[in-house]
Chains A and B, each alone.
Chain A
Amino acid sequence: MKTAQSIAREVQSGESSASAELDNSLSAIRARDEELNVFLYVDEEGARATAASIDERVARGEDVGPLAGVPIAIKDNMCQTGIPTTCSSKILEGWRPPYNATVIDRLIAAGAVPVGKTNLDEFAMGSSTENSAFGPTRNPLDPSRVPGGSSGGSAAAVAANMTPLALGSDTGGSIRQPAALCGLIGMKPSYGLVSRYGLIAFASSLDQIGPFSKNVMDAAILLEAIAGHDPLDSTSLPEPSPSLVAHVNDGVAGKRIALVRELVEGADEDVVISVNRAVEALKDAGATIVELSIPEFRLGLSAYYLIAPAEASSNLARYDGVRYGLRVDAEDVAAMNEATRTAGFGAEVKRRIMLGTYALSAGYFDAYYGQALKVRTRMIDAFKRAYQQADLLIGATTPSVAFAFGTKTSDPMSMYLSDVFTIPTNLAGEAAVSVPFGTGEAGLPVGVQLLGPGRSEAQLFAAARVLEIAEDRS
């Protein structure tokens, strides 16, 4: 499949057309969507109209933008006017938002063609896309296994060559973990780099939208197109979109990169081997490698599984059957709220709402939520100390390669442990990227994770590019 960069170049030059590229994308979707359950909604009509208008503008000699005619898949927790948006939940089934998320506006402004909405764990709560009310998504590389989650549909869309690009959201690893399991580049940008306006909230202080792609350059093009200050999001960083594409080939010569013990601890042998090989590749490219221990990372999971559910319990209160979405009738309002929420939410969502409500409730606040916020401070301080000794950090993205369906669904704690290496970055609001590097069990891809401080996306892409080149040569 063509890269996004080459599609945009060909569409802009007239060598190809947005409509033709969309046709390719739609036939790839038709070929495998039934088997893989990637898309919850394909907006064929809207996408065709968008593609046609791009082709017209190209014919008029206009510069359509860096993503001219590039088909893109959107995780179904981002609002697009008139397009069903469900968060993979029965509680929002049939709801069509009356407004666009900022990222959708920016994609359109960059010339991209949104083709449809992808499956996810309900309200982005999960690590396997098994928690979808509309059935699980299968991993295109091995359909007996999960694609990871919660952005499993978006990862699968790119891995199955349905679209060269996709948007996901990452609250505790929901872009990087499926990227690792599907052999893709997946980045969680710094908190506030990409507007959250129109992203249906899971945990507001942790959520961040980011790109999936098959190569580093495409991810940089996509992120550059959607990043930058948005006055509709109070937590949006004040600067315009950073220059990323221009720095993809900057390399790592002279950079200090730290291998973090806690980011390989407990990982499968084949995963550790890949991380070590990646470290060697960075060293070969001129980086200085150091080793670090950051014990605070071990506390990340505990803090995360109190903070994220607490925020979620409040964010998900609005699904009450009054204004939109599902309503299950009952005698009075309170009973109607309860009947609606009980019928509309799946088990994992209920579990997290319960956990978060408990953590915030009188008498337990200080012991759980309050303590978790302090651990968060500790985590930020620990990162700061680490960045005095290194420019970037490296470790595994996930403890293992893609796992089979049903292996972790009965034990929430074992599922939560899939995110143990990705969570610290979310708690600190920093950036990290997962890069496919080597293979593990059954020839499935391994994801290596590069972590950097806030606003280090350009450096992370440059380091990821070094690994990409090394992998191509091997």
Chain B
Amino acid sequence: MTSPLRREDVAKVAKLARLSLTDEELDLFTTQLGQILEHANDMSTLNLDDVIPTAHPFGLINVVRDDVVRPSLDRDVVLAMAPDTEGGRFAVPRIMGEAP
């Protein structure tokens, strides 16, 4: 698990994360993220094949709520937060592709 990070990886990740980076930022991030991943290599020496990953610190299960309607927010309050609205809806510039 040596750092496989290349400049084009960083560019690809930026696109996935919807961030645009300048050339200088790309260089800087490639170096910095590389260093962090290199530090993380200390984990690769461990044999963790049989270890069950932990996503939650405590093992709670079946936390559910009753199917009972609660008041929603006032629409005017919600729309007042939005950068742009029209006809009671949130307005956005054109969408270039359908949802996956």
Across the interface, B33 reaches (CB within 8 A) one of A238, A358, A378, namely A358
On whether the beta carbons of A367 and B18 are closer than 8 Å, the reply is no
Binds B, one of A300-308, A393-401, A465-473: A300-308
Given contacts A322-B90, A324-B82, contact A375 B33 (CB under 8 A): no
Q: Which residues of B sit under 8 angstroms from A330, Cβ to Cβ?
A: 93
Prevailing SS type, chain A contact patch: helix
Bound-complex Cα distance A330 to B63 (A): 42
On whether the beta carbons of A412 and B36 are closer than 8 Å, the reply is yes
Within 8 A of B (CB), among A321-371: 321-327, 329-339, 341-342, 345, 350-351, 353-355, 357-358, 361, 364, 367-368, 370-371
Within 8 A of A (CB), among B41-81: 41-44, 46, 48, 51-58, 60, 63, 65, 73-74, 77-78, 81
On whether the beta carbons of A372 and B43 are closer than 8 Å, the reply is yes
On whether the beta carbons of B16 and A376 are closer than 8 Å, the reply is no
Across the interface, B39 reaches (CB within 8 A) one of A302, A334, A335, A376, namely A302
Across the interface, A373 reaches (CB within 8 A) one of B5, B14, B53, namely B53
Pair count A-B, CB < 8 A: 174
Max chain B CB contacts within 10 Å: which of A323, A372, A380, A430?
A: A323
Q: Does A454 contact B (CB under 8 A)?
A: yes
On whether the beta carbons of A377 and B51 are closer than 8 Å, the reply is yes
Q: Does B27 contact A (CB under 8 A)?
A: no
Binds B, one of A43-51, A229-237, A246-254, A269-277: A229-237
On whether the beta carbons of A367 and B44 are closer than 8 Å, the reply is yes
Given contacts A191-B58, A305-B39, A454-B58, contact A334 B17 (CB under 8 A): no
Across the interface, A332 reaches (CB within 8 A) one of B25, B29, B39, B94, namely B94
Across the interface, A351 reaches (CB within 8 A) one of B33, B42, B53, B77, namely B33
**Whose C-beta in chain B lies nearest to the C-beta of A426?**
B57
Max chain A CB contacts within 10 Å: which of B5, B81, B84, B96?
A: B81
Bound-complex Cα distance A375 to B46 (A): 9
**Whose C-beta in chain B lies nearest to the C-beta of A413?**
B35
A161 shortest CB reach to chain B, Å: 35
**Whose C-beta in chain B lies nearest to the C-beta of A372?**
B43
Bound-complex Cα distance A238 to B64 (A): 12
Q: Which are the 9 A-B pairs with shortest beta-carbon distances?
A: A429-B57, A373-B53, A327-B83, A374-B48, A324-B81, A374-B51, A302-B40, A234-B63, A376-B54
Residues of A bordering B, CB below 8 Å: 95-96, 98-99, 191-192, 205, 231, 234-235, 237-238, 298-299, 301-303, 305-306, 313, 317, 320-327, 329-339, 341-342, 345, 350-351, 353-355, 357-358, 361, 364, 367-368, 370-378, 380, 412-413, 416, 427-430, 454
